[in-house]
Amino acid sequence: MPVDSAAELLKYYEVYETIGSGGFAKVKRGRHILTGEYVAIKIMEKKDLGDDLPRVKIEIEAMKNLSHQHVCRLYHVIETATKIFMVLEYCPGGELFDYIIAKDRLSEEETRVFFRQIVSAMAYVHSQGYAHRDLKPENLLIDENHNLKLIDFGLCAKPKGGLGYELKTCCGSPAYAAPELIQGKAYIGSEADVWSMGVLLFALLCGYLPFDDDNCMVLYRKITRGVYDNPRWLSPGSILLLNQMMQVEPKRRLTVRQLLDHPWVMTGYSSPVEWHSKHPLGHIDEDCITEMAVSYKRSRKGTIQLVSEWKYDQTTATYLLLLAKKQQGKPVRLRPDNPVQDIHFSPVQESKSKKTLDFEYEDVDDDMDPPLILGPMELPGGQQAGRQALGHTLAPSPDRGPKASLYIRTEESGAKLRLHP
């Protein structure tokens, strides 16, 4: 990695272990030097992106336009001649996918907590004119407060005429894709998202997927038929909601707005899902501005002008991370600006391991296998759609009763990896 690229990142961040890798990206845990807050740093090498470079640009643009309590926050974008760095909200709880595996399946009560957050995020995303188009447990992270954050907007779409306009690109992960996408038809993005939300809800409640097969064509036939078996432990209310979301005919599906106060969603709650952003774009917080003005030795007016440019540079990152500290009840204070002297090390890495920070996508000090970040995939029609969907086979085992086994199958090798006994 050229020194200028490393230096540009390490001016502002300490960089630690790899927490995810695969495809064209690696994600490392980092810490913003000035605020002391932890972040996730997504590192991409331009020469490896190839045809996926436009997808990265789409993701960056979408995340700049979204600010919601259940959408992962973008703080900073650094682009050099060879690399793109996306600095994102750090979610130490990992993927919802792994959480489901660890618990086999979730109770209806816990599922409802998570599902209300998913509905909140999707109602907001749709209100901003976007369809996500790749909803699945791997694209939901759990933060330090056990709340969900939606990630991966690389396949999102924002039709110029609004969400009511049809889309044609066949993309997403096969097991979660709506029948109209599988069939190569024009489709409404928000309707396709509701189908994926239904598959996701089934996975939460059951610990396996409603549609799955080792043979992709058999899988596609199952999806287009829309027939699946409900396990015996599902409540009548859960069965009804799943049926209302996974309707083969898109116009017969519930809308996200109808989900906000659906009887199943409202069980145990006195009010509908709150979907409006608690942190609207463009909000200027007086305490954060005051702290930055003192640190930057600028007037408050000048600091407001600087922050209001929203360049997603060091200024934007500092402001948003200060705001995050305030929202978490931490003191709104900046640390002394002590840049890292040796660009090959963060202070912690240097003291603990004395190993160089390798940016060429080889782990140097990782104690465990990172979570999977999926690579390119294709659906019928030959159109590449960014991330390769891994086939999920979570079939109930007769001798285990309601519990499930989970396998992941890579499309390239056909090999199965059993993740849970």
Helix 314-327 vs helix 300-307: crossing angle, to nearest 10: 100
Rounded Cα–Cα distance for residues 272 and 258 (Å): 10
Give catalytic status of residue 261 as yes or no: no
What integer pLDDT is reported at residue 24 of this predicted model? Answer: 83
Q: Where are the domains of the chain?
A: 3-90+334-352, 96-276
At the top level of CATH, the class of 96-276 is: mainly alpha
**What confidence score (pLDDT) does residue 12 get?**
97
**Hey, what amino acid is at 353?**
S
Whether the CB-CB separation of 28 and 108 falls below 8 Å is answered with: no
Active site residue: 52, 134, 152, 212, which one?
134
Contact 130, 66 (CB under 8 A): yes
* pLDDT reported for residue 23: 74
> For residue 18, how many other CB atoms are within 10 A of its CB?
23
Reported as a single tens digit per residue, the pLDDT across 54-69 is: 999 999 999 999 999 9
User: Does 42 count as an annotated binding residue?
Assistant: yes
First-residue to last-residue Cα distance in the chain: 41
Helices 286-296, 300-307: axis angle to 10 degrees equals 110
- pLDDT for res 338: 52
* pLDDT at residue 261 in the model: 98
| pLDDT less than 50: residues of the chain | 1-3, 339-421
Whole-Å CA distances, 283 to 35, 72, 156, 328: 19, 17, 25, 17
Question: SS3 for 27?
Answer: strand
Measured in degrees and rounded to the nearest 5, phi and psi for residue 148 equal -85, 145
CATH number 3.30.200.20 given to 3-90+334-352? yes
pLDDT in tens, 6-47: 888 999 999 999 998 877 899 999 999 999 999 999 999 999
For residue 337, the model assigns a pLDDT of: 55
Does residue 73 sit in helix, strand or coil? coil
Q: What is the pTM of this model?
A: 0.81
Same topology, domains 3-90+334-352 and 96-276? Answer is: no
Give the pLDDT of residue 265.
99
Of the candidates 187, 135, 189, which has an alpha carbon nearest to the alpha carbon of residue 158? 189
